[in-house]
Structure 1
Amino acid sequence: MSLPAQPPTLLSHRRKNIRSCIRHFTWSWHTIVMGTGSIGSLLAHFHFHQPGSRALEIATLIFFFLDLLFFVLVCGATIARYYMFPELWPAVLRHPTQSLFIGTFPIGAATLISNALAVHQSYGFAGSGFVYALWVLWWVDTVVCFLTTVGTLVVTKETYSLDSISPTWLIPTATLVVGSSTGSLLATALIPVNVRYAAVGAATSFAMLLMGLPLCFMVITLYLMRLIVHGPLDLNLILSSFIVLGPLGQGGYSILINSQNVAALRLVPSLSPEAIQAVCFCLAWALWSMSFIWLCIALASVYSVVRHRRLLFSLAYWGLIFPNGVFALFTVELGVFLDNAALNYLGAVFSVLVFLLWAFVFAKTIPNVWDTTLFDSPCATKLDEGEF
């Protein structure tokens, strides 16, 4: 009598060699830079701490250099991938979803610039010329943000249907919003040093925000229609539901910072700083309210899917950290702006939860990197199978 066939298990997975890992290295790895950078920002702006706290200073510096290390490693692997396998570049551009993740590169770079500025301002890291160096790097990142947003929308030739819409479409347009947030922080730092540069930075960041945020609203509207008509996303995309929090939270944060910059800059008499701040606060409060309801929608969507099927660990988990992190940072800044105790405590709770989420995802990533299961590129697989 023959034995029944055994079901396939994960033990059958074969480890990839270094060359194969590089070939299957995707743009999604930049979400690690984004997520780690958001933790650094939360530490730098944590509300409840003693001034000059040595423990918080050390933690902030650790996450800054850890984020810098991740950025160098991920960029190095990305460059090596397209140098060794140049045929993958057009394949990525033609892919309907992988091309969207190119925007994670300028977002991660903008987050790293923000953290470098926070470390410089709070702990005197590097000299006074460091701000100008970050200013130049921000302009480079701004150009990349524009090219990513416009290029991704133009190059992608895939035919889409309503049920294929997901929040990953927000990534290219969100680059402008995140870049705007970094520009507003740099403008704040430049006000006491160079008012002219600060004014240019504030105006540019406002313009980027007004370009990127409406585009994000259009995509969010399409995604809401998809939810109403077709219900929650499939299991492999369900964690992307939280991406909506990214542009909403980062946009509101940028509005608050820029409104404070306006009050410190010299404007023409017809522009009242008080009126601009009032309008900006109303917009920021609307974005925070929208972020909160989308957080509830994302949680409900994930629960409705994972209660029936098991969700295996993947790089998609790293996509949870940045959107929730910027929402927590937005809550912290709103509490400081209003001097409101409830928002201060809520921001602190959100910050702690995001840090715990980062620790969980980081701990799960290490063994999956070791056994190479995270190195999986749909583009490389399709090329190997001759589908492109």
Structure 2
Amino acid sequence: MSSERQSGWEDDASVSRQKLGLRDRIAHFTWANFTCTQSTGGMSILLSETPHQFHGLQTVGAVIFILNVALFVLFCAAMAARFILHPHMFKRSFTNPPEPFYISTFWVSIETIIICIQRFGVPHTGPWLIVAVRVLFWIYAAVTLIFSTVMWIILATKSQIKAIELHPVIFLLIVNTMLTGTIASVLIPSQPPVHRMSMIVAAVAYQGLGWTVTTMLLAWHLASVLERGLGSPSQRFGMFMPVAAPSYAIVCLIGCSRHLPADYGYFAQHPLAVEILQVVALWASIFLWLVTFWLFALVLVATIPVMLPFRNHRFEPQMHFTLAWWGLVFPNIGFALATAYIGTELGSPAIHWVATIMTILLFAVWLMNLMLHVKAVATGQIMWPGRDEDVIKSD
């Protein structure tokens, strides 16, 4: 805890003695706050797809979706106010790590909204919404690809980042593009064959890009952990971020394979390809599942000692809430979805129960984080000078 105090952390008592106006606090409303909306949207999706459904669960998912849209609009307004009141913060937010890495959470939040529109909107509206989500899909695909390309160039030319010091959230700089495949896997069941085919092709292509870049980043990330250690206890949950890539790859591969247009185009000419690709998708997903579990287990083992520290027979917490805690939710939502998808393909009730238990635990963690996020804003633990992702680090 002492190291965190030296880096600018102060207890609630000292916070209460200070006065800081809303204008000054809004200057520290960083892109990292969108980790909340990406996780809230993800929770809505998970509840809609968890294997063991009960009456009212879909309604709960829809309510969380509406809450997520409201939070997203609120956060966008706060970010706009930050840049209007403090114009110099705009450029800094793109060039001062680790905040630039968190810009991707804005795009991932939009990804969850698009999927939720499909889940909760398309079944209850006309064909116009099917066209609308398809248009949103292609816009998302184009914008995130451009963003991921340009952002790497900006970081390379404007920031001093050593490979050995990469922040785990850097994975989002490619995962947000990779999630194009996840969107496609959810949207294609309602799309006509001609559009379904093009979306599946795009999904596989984007998945290849995302997985290839993620694999390279993973080597740097593990080297950084070995060289520099596990980092601050309060930031350690951010290390769950690499779990997202293989998790959502599984969701994309199985989701797309379920809805291949058997009587259209390539698949009409090669009818055996449908079953072959479905088999390949399942077993490639099983191949990736243990990679996902290993990445999850690494972080879990690393965080348990600081989550539940006992010294001299007393419980002495070493952590305080930071926005990195949302790393507990979104990547592991993908892990739960991937587990459920594999269970469905294998027809395994046992795997379905594992996915359901994961869903229950994640829902509890999401609620905890939501309450802690509100408390952190109210008590000055975040949106405060020196305590957010916009802090300028000295050499």
Q: TM > 0.5 between the two?
A: yes
TM superposition shift of 1:16? 3.3
Q: Which residue of 1 aligns with 2:250?
A: 252
Counterpart of 2:377 (choices 332, 350, 369) is 369
TM superposition shift of 1:312? 0.7
Q: Does 1:336 align with 2:344?
A: yes
Distance 1:9 1:159, change over 3 A: closer
Q: 1:188-210 CA deviation, whole Å, 9 max, x = no partner?
A: 221xxx21111111111111111
Distance 1:15 1:360, change over 3 A: farther
Contact 2:174-2:213 at 8 Å conserved across structures:
yes
**C-alpha distance in 2, partners of 1:58/1:114?**
16
Contact 2:141-2:177 at 8 Å conserved across structures:
yes
Q: Which residue of 1 aligns with 2:240?
A: 242
Distance 1:143 1:16, change over 3 A: farther
Q: CA RMSD in A?
A: 2.3
**C-alpha distance in 1, partners of 2:263/2:86?**
49
Task: State the AA in 1 paired with 2:39.
Answer: G
Distance 1:104 1:9, change over 3 A: closer
**C-alpha distance in 2, partners of 1:256/1:228?**
34
Unaligned stretches of 5+ residues in structure 2: 1-9, 312-316
**C-alpha distance in 2, partners of 1:132/1:83?**
35
Distance 1:298 1:380, change over 3 A: closer
**C-alpha distance in 2, partners of 1:131/1:65?**
19
Contact 2:336-2:359 at 8 Å conserved across structures:
yes
**C-alpha distance in 2, partners of 1:209/1:202?**
10
**TM-score, normalised via structure 1 length:** 0.89
Q: Which residue of 1 aligns with 2:12?
A: 10
Q: 1:347-370 CA deviation, whole Å, 9 max, x = no partner?
A: 000000000001111122222222
Contact 2:237-2:327 at 8 Å conserved across structures:
yes
Q: Which residue of 2 aligns with 1:348?
A: 356
Task: State the AA in 1 paired with 2:66.
Answer: F
TM superposition shift of 1:221? 1.7
Report % sequence identity. 20
**C-alpha distance in 2, partners of 1:11/1:96?**
29
Q: 1:333-380 CA deviation, whole Å, 9 max, x = no partner?
A: 211122111110000000000000011111222222223432147576
Question: What SS is found at the alignment partner of 1:294?
Answer: helix
**C-alpha distance in 2, partners of 1:239/1:15?**
30
Q: Which residue of 1 aligns with 2:3?
A: none
Q: Which residue of 2 aligns with 1:4?
A: none
TM superposition shift of 1:137? 1.7
Q: What is the correspondence of 1:60-79 to structure 2 with a 5 Å cutoff?
A: 60-79=61-80
Q: What is the correspondence of 1:268-287 to structure 2 with a 5 Å cutoff?
A: 268=266, 269-270=269-270, 272-287=273-288
Contact 1:29-1:315 at 8 Å conserved across structures:
yes
Contact 1:91-1:379 at 8 Å conserved across structures:
no
**C-alpha distance in 1, partners of 2:210/2:19?**
41
Q: Which residue of 1 aligns with 2:127?
A: 128
TM superposition shift of 1:34? 0.8
Q: Which residue of 1 aligns with 2:207?
A: 209
Unaligned stretches of 5+ residues in structure 1: 1-7
Question: What SS is found at the alignment partner of 2:233?
Answer: coil
Contact 1:181-1:251 at 8 Å conserved across structures:
yes
**C-alpha distance in 1, partners of 2:11/2:341?**
47
**C-alpha distance in 2, partners of 1:41/1:380?**
30
Deviates more, 1:266-275 or 1:58-67: 266-275
**C-alpha distance in 1, partners of 2:347/2:193?**
27
Q: Which residue of 1 aligns with 2:6?
A: none
Segments ≥4 residues shifted beyond 6 Å: none
Q: Does 1:311 align with 2:319?
A: yes
Q: Which residue of 1 aligns with 2:119?
A: 118
Contact 2:34-2:75 at 8 Å conserved across structures:
yes
Task: State the AA in 2 paired with 1:228.
Answer: L
Q: Which residue of 2 aligns with 1:145?
A: 144
**C-alpha distance in 1, partners of 2:301/2:250?**
23
Contact 1:23-1:380 at 8 Å conserved across structures:
no
TM superposition shift of 1:86? 2.1
**C-alpha distance in 2, partners of 1:15/1:277?**
60
Contact 1:241-1:301 at 8 Å conserved across structures:
no
Question: What SS is found at the alignment partner of 1:237?
Answer: helix
